[in-house]
Amino acid sequence: MQQILNLIRSWSAKDDLTAKWTILAVVVVLIALMFPQGLAVESDYPVGMIWTENDLYAPFAFPIYKDAREYTRERELAAGKVYKVFEENPTVSRDYLDSLQLFFVSLQSFLDRTSASGDPSVLPVQFMESEWNILRGLRSAEVRSGRTIPKYSFDKLRRDVLLVVNGLYLEGIVDVRKSQYREDELIAKRKKTSEQIVPLNRFVDRYELGKSVQQTFIAGFKQDNDTVSIAVKIALTFLMPNVIFQREQTEREVRFAEDLVPRTIGAVSEGERIIAKKERVTDDIKLKLDSMRKAKEERGAGINVYVTFLGKAMRVFAIMWMLVMYIYLFRKRIYSDNAKLIMISSLFVVVSFIAYLTVQNTSELPLRYLIVIPAISMICAIIFDSRVAFYSTVVISLIAAGIRGNDYAIALSSLVAGAFAIYTVRDIKKRTQIFRSIIYVFLGYTITIVALGLERYESFEVVGNELLVAGFNAILSPIITYGLLIFLERTFLVSTELTLMDLSDLNHPLLKELSHKAPGSFHHSVSVATLAESAAQAIGANGTLARVGGLYHDIGKLANPESFVENQLGTENRHRTMSPRKSVRVIAAHIEDGMTLARKNKLPQSVIDFIPMHHGTMLVGFFYEKALRQKKSRGEVNENDFRYPGPKPSTKETAIVMLADGVEASTRAITDPTVEKIAANIDSLVKLRLLEGELDESKLTMKELKKVQESFLKILVGIHHSRLRYPEQEAPAVVPAVPAESGSRTAKLPTEKRLQRTIDSIDRK
């Protein structure tokens, strides 16, 4: 199973157009196969709807077929009136009674022999030694008495057994278990050319024989239990069913009775008006519309199965294209990820199959309200966003309605219930929040079901059944959502808001290890996470993602925590004895180490992206300057050797963490911090990142950067409140150089002209 998942992931990682068209084609074909077979014409109008087209006249004469469910019910009633056929076989009773008499003759001859000659094992009934002694005693008593018949004798045993066996054969022994049938079940008992309709309970089945025979003999032999046991053993040996169930004959008569049920209830003449424009579709008119469709299919009417399937496929494609275009134009991250496309497609196919099953099921319950479209709405809202979820809800609602023969009611109710479901999970923060959706999903179904019921003047029973099934769907959809989320997160490696909330727990194994082995880096990460979350929320970005990215951006330092200044408490700085190039390699190694550790712990890719992007391609300024000072003795210095490998931040969240990382580290280095010093430091660092081009791919605007700076200042003032000084008048302090770890480029400050050009270019984004 794991190998199959790995194969799917490797294939879905290929961002090529062929793979995307293949996914779309497979989904279209699979869903088109679930659409109703044959023509899908006038039957598109359900009972209660208004006929909006011109008057419809019959193009030819055709019979009016009964409703499929009604016809099935009538056939079942007809089949239920057919008696099960049993046939009495007189040969069975005659043969076994003859065999019983011969048995007693043989038994008597064995008992009358004075010597133990002969082999009693040839007898059809085998007796134990104690039973042989009883039989000899009965025979001896009979011989000694002469003409006087003793109370218990061998002859009495013979006569009683023959009477019981003959009586049971006359009563009738059936070869079925009576408990499997109704108590008042009537059967057709046949004997040669005669037939009687009698109750099944009148007969004895083979499972009742033992009890029936024993009770009869107890009455005859009183307390002589040993003799009763012998009599029962002999009688049961010669009792067999003589009233045999005729299964094949019964089934033939059932089929004959079903075939006698008329399939039609009338006919429509050629040219007869079936329905007028603006007339409401009634049950009778619906039967005529369905019958005309069926008649067209039977007559052929130029139908080509390949042509009709092509039409269905084009219809599905047209519906799917709405979502495809939206994802292509506005959700490039989904479009470029084939794994996510496969996930969405799989959900659509599964729900379509559920809709198909509701069509195939002939239950009288309105199973169309069991199509769990709200579950798809909630899953897409949690994994992606509310807009993708709404487009997905519209598309799958139309597809489900098409599979059910253009059922307008299910399309509308699913769309409304799905929209309510999206609303309940759009800002989900914990998994238990999903279950509040039960109320809203049921409310959405209730509104549409009651509205359509009133419009069509449906009975309370019909509306009640629909609400009952919809209520079950409202309970089932959140449960399915909860269960599928975990599976989808693991299978397709997607991160949801719920996943991020789990990762933000400071008790996560990686964070606990970071707090033990690198406490300085851990506290730095917590501070960065706080800054990033606040700033992201200020500009409408994903605050939870920014917080989690801040928590895990430095986990690579676990591989070598002592090499970073925040963890060198009371120890000598190792970089004093290293060359600048080696120091840079040691510092930059935490990027690759962090990504390796993150993948090993199966962190989502959206979180892994923060590890290389929070430094981008920045220059490790301190060691670059140190290398320049050693230039004369060490040769030329290549600036690229002192840069982080990148890439640059590609999202607003990763850019915010980059800024928060630098701001947090540099603010800690300020001596006697004041509000003005902190503000100047933030402004200086943001401008520096702008001029270095590190924010070019992040899509942050100058307006958003302004809000980010204000958010940073508010948080940092709160963090350093105990150290702040508030002089009455103080000129803005000179911002200290940013520490080496932040990677600032202090050697080459740009001109004001270049700064203005960069700011203008960002404003134009």
Domains of the chain: residue spans and CATH: 2-38+305-494 (1.10.1760), 49-66+263-302 (no CATH), 84-252 (no CATH), 504-621+649-763 (1.10.3210)
pLDDT band for position 680 (cuts 50, 70, 90) = very high
pLDDT of residue 327: 94
Place 214 in a pLDDT band, splitting at 50, 70 and 90: confident
Packing angle of the helix pair 509-517, 543-552 (nearest 10 deg):
40
Q: Which of 283-297, 310-324, 518-532 has the lowest mean pLDDT?
A: 283-297
Task: Report pLDDT digits (tens) over 128-159.
Answer: 888 888 888 888 877 766 555 556 678 888 88
What is residue 44's predicted lDDT score, i.e. its pLDDT?
59
Mean pLDDT confidence for 493-513 = 84
On whether the CB atoms of residues 441 and 417 are closer than 8 A, the answer is: yes
Residue type, 196: Q
DSSP string, 31-96: HHHTSPSS--SGGGS-TT-B--SS-EE-SS-EEEEPPHHHHHHHHHHHHHTSPEEEEE-HHHHHHH
Q: How many CB atoms lie within 10 A of CB 102?
A: 11
The alpha-helical segments, DSSP class H, found in 671-751 are 675-691, 702-719
Better-scored residue on pLDDT, 744 or 101: 101
pLDDT of 147:
55
Residues of the chain with pLDDT > 90, as a percent, come to: 35
Give the CA distances from residue 761 to residues 240, 654, 750, 757, in Å, rounded to whole numbers and listed in that order: 101, 20, 16, 6
Chain segment 22-74, per-residue pLDDT in tens: 999 999 999 999 988 755 544 457 777 788 778 888 888 889 998 888 888 99
Higher pLDDT, 497 or 746: 497
Q: Over 70: is that where the pLDDT of 219 sits?
A: no
Q: Mean of the per-residue pLDDT values for the chain?
A: 83
Band of residue 414 on the pLDDT scale cut at 50, 70, 90: very high
Residue 728 pLDDT greater than 80, yes or no:
no
pLDDT digits (tens, 9 = 90+) for 515-542: 888 888 899 999 999 999 999 999 988 8
Residue 641 near residue 584 (C-beta atoms within 8 A): yes
pLDDT the model gives residue 628: 75
The residue length of the chain stands at 765
Which of 211-215, 659-663, 713-717 is predicted with the least confidence, judged by mean pLDDT?
Answer: 211-215
Helix (H) or strand (E) holding 382: helix 373-383
189 sits in which H/E element: strand 186-191
**Using CA atoms, how far apart are residues 53 and 728, in angstroms rounded to an integer?**
83
Strand partners, 245: 86
Question: In this predicted structure, what is the pLDDT of residue 471?
Answer: 95
Share of the chain above pLDDT 70, in %: 85
CB 246 within 8 A of CB 82: no
Q: Give residue 436's identity as a one-letter amino acid code.
A: R
